[in-house]
Amino acid sequence: MTQTPPKVVRSDEEWKSILTEEQYRVGVKDGTERAFTPGNYQDEKRDGDYHCVGCDTVLWQSDHKFESGTGWPSFFQPASEGVIDTKRDFKMIVPRTECHCAVCGLHQGHVFKDGPPPTGLRWCINGAILNFVPREEG
């Protein structure tokens, strides 16, 4: 069983000093990047891990990624148990389930019940809040 790393707590000023404006807007202020934003990892096809920009925790893996056609990177499950927290989001007319990094709390995106097997879930994630680390070949 994988243990979640210790919680990372930062002040608003600390977040502003380590994140770009877009990462701050998305991760701290629960924003959403535009669909099909260049560089958001939607088209990333290499094997590797997707780390949280706020704490470097591996949250998502290429083995769990799929093409959803939504314009955001989509995964059918997190990298391991306990790395993602969820809460209900009532910002839109229809309630949604918002997801955050369980270690540092940065907003990742939302999870929907329209994904592929084996989970049937689509974790729709903002690429701005991720760092992709390719796996070593060989």
* Cα–Cα nearest to 53, from 18, 85, 79, 25: 18
Distance (Å, rounded) from C-alpha 22 to C-alpha 116?
A: 30
Out of 52, 99, 104, 124, which one is annotated catalytic? Answer: 124
- Residue 27 tokens, joined: 């991760």
DSSP label at 87? E
Distance (Å, rounded) from C-alpha 116 to C-alpha 53?
A: 27
Query: Catalytic residue at 124?
Result: yes
Active centre residues (catalytic)? 124
